[in-house]
Structure 1
Amino acid sequence: MKNLFKKLGQCSKIKLFAFGVLAIAFAACFFVDMGSGIGMLAAAPIITLAKKDSRMSAEEEEFLNKIEGPLNEAFDNFSKGFITEERLQGIIEKSMTDFINKNKDKMPADDLKKSLDDMQETVKTVVKEIQKMKDGGITLGNGSMIEKAIDEIIDNPKMVDFINSKSRTTGKIPFNIKGIVSLENNYEGNLLTTQQTGRVIVDVNERRINVRDLMTVDQGDPEFTSIAYAKIIDLDRNAVAVSENGRLPESAFKMKEETANIARIGTHVNISKRLLKSRPYLRSFLINRLPKWVRMAEDFQILFGDGTGDNLLGIVGQSNDISKWLTAVVAKGEAGSVESVESYNKGEQTMITFSKPFDKIEEGMLIKFTGAPEVTSGTASKLNSENMMHKHNDRKIMINVPYADIVPQSAGKLSESEIAALKFEVKNNFFNTVEDPNYGDAINAVIAVLTYGEFTPNVVALNPSDVFMIQTLKDTSGRSLDLITGIDGTKRISGRVIVETTIVPPGYYFIGDMANAAALVDYTSLFIEFAEDIESKLTNQVTVIAQEEVLMPVYNPFAFAYGKLDDVLAAITKKKD
């Protein structure tokens, strides 16, 4: 192709004029037909018509300078497949006719015919060589969303000035990949000096799903470098039924202000400046690689950041380990925590009032008292056994135990000193209740505990190895348990979609309400910047910087659960007698 355009530069002046007219007609036809939806890419000239050592008149040189750009753009558009060879030939024939009509009175017929024959031959050679390049796969692709995203970077005036050494840095160039469905390579070739395939071979693939893909992502306000929100730490929901003129009890709550600060996440890499001229390479490298490296570090911060130094305060450090929650005491009352023990529903049940609120107690949990006196000699009070409770409010519960089975028969009630001496512990009722549980039961228990707390877990994230393990579980006769179901590649467990991801390590689970209980805030969205200094200039390298700034408030840590599947399995296993 280089030799071809060198040949064009040696044409006579009249042939260059004719070729210029052809180029203008070509470009005009292209713009008229394609203007509805296809934008032209700015390209450097591939041929210079007005030579400094030519004997052209000022008028001729000015004319050639004007048509030089359209000429180069016309062949570039044909090489990219915007029009077919047949359409190009039609445009050429029309341009020839226009040229003859314009110049038939200015040139002898023989000279005009020879010039046109030479021009036709030259144009046919151009078309043939470009078609040969297209057949060989050398093309810039089909204008996908990915290509448009990276083209915005490469064609940015800041980038053009940088490549042409007019500036030392590109400054911040926005990197917008919203709407891109696939990040796979889709170009068919490149324009390097040697022909290559349109694929970059790597041994390690990047993570397909990032934590931010599962979260609510908001745009931050650049005027504020932190987010403050109120967190309620104590509740006293003390509502009861009263008479028409009865006094309503007081409820209360305590709160404190929490703050989420900015974390800057990014990386940089040095590359040869020559690679900046290769669009296909930059597409693959910048779109498929560098941003994903930033996202991988972001994943770690969102889940496992410890909140110290420059780290985010991650979700895992604030979440529940369900195995510990299943075995731990939910609430504990020391002596003096019980205010009254009264008969309820004509003595069929017992109402217990606490002297302070216990907001972590939930409906259906198990409560066990100590220190209750015997009903009769040798007959223990049923207060000293585990009983399921019904929650009235944060200060009052009811148990399904007849009042006569918990108080001394002789006195018919508990004295003030006996009530003041009562202690209790509250546990959930999932603990040690499942015979021969499997991993499906363990995950169901985690979901049940979160749902029990009135949360709505919408993300069940498991390592692919654990998904495979659960899918292959069988009963004693060798039949599949079918704990995981799926249609069209979407896998579900307990009716919830499973997110298979390496973000969660093997043997662990991450389950929670990612839509409502936490949010990721893009204070500065991910951007790419090209820069150089004296040192990089000496080695003909540039530095590519990818970075972002994010905040992450976790509004309700109790809506998340993270831990080992085996620990949950052990916690829910019913003990053998």
Structure 2
Amino acid sequence: MSDIVIEKIAALGKAFETQAGALNTRLGELEKKYAREEGHEGGEPIGNALENAISTSDAIRDLSSSFRGKAVVKLTGERADITSGNTTAGAGRSAGTSLVPGHRVAGIIEPYQRVLRVRDVIGTARTTSSSVEYVKETSFTNNAAPVAETTLKPKSDLTFDMYNSPVRTIAHIFKISRQMLDDGPALASYIARRGTYGLKRVEEAQLLNGDGTGQNLHGIIPQATAFAPGWTATAETPIDRILQAISQAEDSEFDVNAVILNKRDWRKMTGQKDAGGNYLSDASPFGATDPRLWNMPVVATNAMPAGEFLTGAFGEAATIFDRLDVEVLISTENNDDFEKNMATIRIEERLALAVFRPDAFIYGDLVATGP
């Protein structure tokens, strides 16, 4: 072996020894630091707390087979039960910060929304004004008759009156922080959706029952004609009374196009049986059928009070005039919203309801209440 090779091997060995010494020194420093941080020199021991306490206890260390009495082992430091629910208690804690966090279902669970259908059977149009005016014939004296040649013709008469249906606004607002808009982007759309439903629910109540005072619409029921049957039915039932009401509405010469009932009343009707215990409806109880009564569509809604009905020519004898469709606006400059870092969500609509022929709507009780 040459002298050069021998010298290189010696140099490599010396360098290796130097590096190994440095590594040993660094390892020793790390071990000391680890012992201080983890409590091996007065800190909290790692591993099983009870096992560490026993292994370091002087009382346990001095035990022998001749020991009599008791030895006490004290666990120092914080001792918290390790459970899935422990961290859900206390200020600022929630199920989301639990050791075993709860399963989070995405989104917000909405309450069930009433199906709104009254508007569907009423005629609709648009307006660009703040009120809807219409001229209505109030009386017609019809003296038309066959006459002889060259004789004086009979005179008939018509009278008219002007009616007005003002456009009303239905609206409400919600307050939300800008932080919530940023942190929960779906919240704004949820509020808009629920707010629109709330608006439409009030609209349906107004279309049926608005009393016309203040800012209320003048609904159909307050203007409808009271039920006065044209004949007496044998063993009268609610179904008979609705048939009588349809006939009464047809005296207006308009085509009746719907019957509005409370949902519970409609269910009672579909469950009626004959004397033999058979359901009157071929579709009851398991079949599916389009809700119809006397060949008229039935609108079953809880907006109609139980025990009452409304029938009539919704398509022609009344009209909804929409001035502003449902509008959802968000603003950060309302009142002191800018200072408080808040936002205002406004949901509103504008509409008018014109009932041209109140005699084309019949309202009454499903069951006779008096003699």
* TM score, norm. by length of structure 1: 0.43
Which residues in structure 2 correspond to 1:364-379 (within 5 Å)?
A: none
Contact 1:444 1:494 in 2 (8 A): yes
Seen in structure 2, the aligned counterparts of structure 1 residues 516 and 549 have a Cα distance that, compared at 3 Å, is: same
State the Cα distance separating 1:483 from its structure 2 match: 8.7
Q: Distance in 2 between matches of 1:545 and 1:482?
A: 47
Alpha-carbon distance between aligned partners in 1 of 2:137 and 2:296, rounded to the nearest angstrom: 30
What is residue 544 of structure 1 aligned with on the other side? 345
Q: In 1, distance between residues paired with 2:278 and 2:192?
A: 48
1:398-413 equivalence runs, <5 A: none
Q: Is contact 2:118–2:299 with CA below 8 Å preserved after alignment?
A: no
Q: 2: CA distance between counterparts of 1:444 and 1:474?
A: 18
SS of the residue corresponding to residue 490 of structure 1 reads coil
Alignment map for 1:89-128 (pairs within 5 Å):
none
The amino acid of 1:246's aligned partner reads: T
How many pairs does the alignment contain? 267
Q: Quote the Cα distance in structure 2 between the aligned partners of 1:444 and 1:250.
A: 38
What are the ranges of 5 or more consecutive residues in structure 2 without an aligned counterpart? Answer: 1-101
**Amino acid of the structure 2 residue aligned with 1:212:** R
Distance 1:543 1:260, change over 3 A: same
* Counterpart selection for 1:304 from 201, 209, 217: 209
2:124 is aligned, of 207, 213, 217, to 217
- Secondary structure, in 3 states, of the residue corresponding to 2:310? strand
**Aligned CA distance change for structure 1 residues 487 and 244 (closer, same or farther; 3 Å):** farther
Deviations 1:473-532 (A, max 9, x none): 123332222298897541211111211111111111121111111111111222111123
1:453 aligned partner: 252
Decide whether aligned partners of structure 1 residues 510 and 303 sit closer, same or farther in structure 2, where only a CA change above 3 A counts.
Answer: same
Letter in 1 for 2:130: T
Paired with 2:106 and 2:289, the residues of 1 have a C-alpha distance of 29
1:256 aligned partner: 161
**Matching of residue 566 in structure 1 with residue 364 in structure 2:** no
**How much has 1:250 moved relative to structure 2?**
1.0
The 1:484/1:501 distance shift into structure 2, 3 A limit, reads farther
CA shift digits 1:117-160 (9 cap, x unpaired)? xxxxxxxxxxxxxxxxxxxxxxxxxxxxxxxxxxxxxxxxxxxx
CA shift for structure 1 position 534: 5.9
| Cα pair 1:483 1:493 within 8 Å, conserved | no
| Alignment match, 2:187 | 281
Inter-partner Cα distance in structure 2 for 1:273 and 1:195 = 27
Residue identity matched to 2:163: E
1:478 correspondence with 2:274:
no
- Helix, strand or coil for the counterpart of 2:367? helix
- Equivalent-residue separation in structure 1 for 2:316 and 2:106 (angstroms): 42
Does the 8 A contact of 1:459 with 1:497 survive in 2? yes
Between structure 1 and structure 2, the one with the greater Rg is 2
Distance in 2, matches of 1:313 and 1:438, equals 31
In structure 2, do the counterparts of structure 1 residues 483 and 499 end up closer, same or farther at CA, with 3 Å as the change threshold? Answer: farther
Q: Judging changes above 3 Å, is the alpha-carbon distance between structure 1 residues 200 and 553 closer, same or farther for their aligned structure 2 residues? A: same
The answer as to whether partners of 1:228 and 1:259 remain within 8 angstroms in 2 is yes
Q: Distance in 2 between matches of 1:296 and 1:484?
A: 30
Alignment of 1:311-460 (within 5 A): 311-322=216-227, 325-326=228-229, 429-430=230-231, 433-460=232-259
Residues in 2 aligned to 1:477 and 1:570: alpha-carbon distance in whole angstroms: 30
1:272 is displaced (CA, Å) by: 2.7
SS state at 1:283 partner = helix
| Structure 2 Cα separation of the partners of residues 487 and 230 of structure 1 | 47
Residues 463 and 505 in structure 1, CA contact (< 8 A), matched pair in contact too: yes
Encode CA deviations 1:207-265: one digit per residue, 9 max, x unaligned. 211432222222211xx321111111111011111123333211111111111112111
C-alpha change, 1:267 and 1:515, in structure 2 (3 Å) is same
Q: Does 1:554 align with 2:355?
A: yes
Residue deviations 1:518-561, cap 9 Å, x none? 11111122211112346434543311110111111111111112
* Deviation for aligned residue 1:293: 0.8
Aligned CA distance change for structure 1 residues 315 and 250 (closer, same or farther; 3 Å): same
Aligned to 1:121: none
Correspondence for 2:295: 495
Equivalent-residue separation in structure 2 for 1:239 and 1:233 (angstroms)? 18
Amino acid at match of 1:470: M
Q: Normalising by structure 2, report the TM-score.
A: 0.66
**Contact persistence 2:246–2:311 (CA under 8 A):** yes
Q: Is contact 1:230-1:257 (8 Å) kept?
A: yes
Query: What amino acid sits opposite 1:457 in the alignment?
Result: V
Shift of 1:281: 3.3
Sequence identity of aligned pairs in percent?
25
Match of 1:285, SS state, is helix
- Deviation track 1:371-401 (CA, whole Å, cap 9, x = no partner) reads xxxxxxxxxxxxxxxxxxxxxxxxxxxxxxx
Matches within 5 A, 1:138-217: 197-202=105-110, 204-217=111-124
Q: Report the CA distance shift for 1:534/1:545 in structure 2 as closer, same or farther (over 3 A).
A: closer
Distance 2:292 2:278 in 1: 19
Match of 2:5 in 1: none
User: Which sections of structure 1, spanning at least 5 residues, go unmatched?
Assistant: 1-193, 327-428, 572-577
Higher relative CO (CA 8 A, sep ≥ 6), structure 1 or 2? 2
Residue aligning to 1:517: 317
Distance 1:539 1:205, change over 3 A: farther
Deviation at 1:195, TM superposition (A): 9.5
CA positional deviation for 1:279: 4.4
Q: CA deviation at 1:316?
A: 1.0
C-alpha distance in 2 between matches for 1:546 and 1:434: 49
| Aligned equivalents of 2:283, 2:191: Cα separation in 1 | 37
Mapped to 1, the partners of 2:103 and 2:174 lie a distance apart of 26
Q: Distance in 2 between matches of 1:458 and 1:311?
A: 26
Task: Give the letter for the 1:305 counterpart.
Answer: G
How far the C-alpha of 1:453 sits from its partner, in A, is 3.3
Partner residue, 1:190: none
